[in-house]
């Protein structure tokens, strides 16, 4: 069915790592090429005569055993998500509705202080060829001070973002507001012993109403 301009779902844009890197490079370039008076070639202020060089800022405090135990316990609560998964689904695109196959890998890292989630999806092009259309990873950690899960996500296009992940009785939920379009997006997953069902929704009115934009069904194939 053809969409009108009033109900078309906008493309979601997340700030890119590339843009941040370019901004940093441009900022550095404004002072590059000339050493400033009273500074070293690396930009560190020269010590006054007879003054010892600064050792720099003190290192961040190392979390104690209790904080580490809390983080590991929180990640352990997501243990049912760990494993290798394969399945298929559909997602809304500019062309309408695209179907895809997907492989997801979820594994604990850093001594079970974090979860690494990697997804790779493929779709069939109009030419009949199969191409990678989804290539992303996320890192899930526990923030003891904020008493929350932190979900940092990255894509092969250079997009990245951070959201709060909420654990539910049978899975998890997370979402964000796109800073460019103002569109709200949320994902809800139900994780069973052998199945992973996930749906994505989008809201164009600040979260009052939601419409489906993605759905996928995966089965555990390992782990």
Q: What does the pLDDT average to over 211-215?
A: 95
Q: Does residue 158 carry a pLDDT above 60?
A: yes
The full set of domain ranges for the chain reads 65-222
**pLDDT-based confidence at 53, cuts 50/70/90?**
low
Q: Which residue in 52, 51, 33 sits closest to 43, CA to CA?
A: 33
Please give the pLDDT value at position 208: 93
Q: What does the pLDDT average to over 202-219?
A: 95
- What pTM does this model have? 0.69
Q: What is the pLDDT of residues 97-137, one digit of tens each?
A: 889 999 999 999 999 999 999 999 999 988 889 999 999 99
The token duo for 32 is: 């590059």
Q: Are 12 and 155 in contact (CB under 8 A)?
A: no
d(CA 195, CA 171): 11
Q: Which CATH class is domain 65-222?
A: mainly beta
């Amino acid at each position: 069915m053809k969409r009108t301009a009033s109900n078309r779902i906008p493309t979601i844009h997340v700030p890119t790592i590339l843009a941040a890197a370019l901004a940093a490079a441009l900022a550095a370039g404004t002072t590059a090429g000339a050493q400033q008076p009273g500074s070293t070639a690396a930009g560190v202020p020269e010590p006054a005569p007879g003054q010892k060089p600064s050792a720099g800022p003190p290192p961040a405090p190392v979390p104690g055993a209790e904080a580490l135990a809390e983080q590991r316990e929180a990640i352990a609560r997501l243990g049912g998500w760990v494993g290798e998964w394969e399945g298929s689904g559909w997602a809304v695109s500019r062309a309408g509705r695209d179907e895809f196959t997907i492989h997801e890998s979820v594994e604990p890292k850093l001594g079970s202080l974090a979860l690494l989630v990697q997804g790779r999806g493929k779709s069939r092009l109009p030419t009949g060829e199969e191409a990678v259309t989804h290539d992303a990873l996320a890192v899930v950690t526990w923030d003891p001070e904020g008493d929350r899960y932190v979900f940092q996500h990255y894509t092969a296009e250079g997009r990245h973002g951070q959201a709060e992940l909420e654990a539910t009785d049978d899975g998890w939920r997370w979402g964000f507001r796109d800073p460019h379009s103002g569109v709200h997006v949320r994902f809800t997953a139900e994780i069973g012993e052998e199945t992973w069902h996930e749906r994505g929704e989008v809201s164009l009115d600040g979260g009052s109403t939601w419409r489906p934009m993605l759905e996928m069904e995966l089965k555990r194939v390992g782990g």
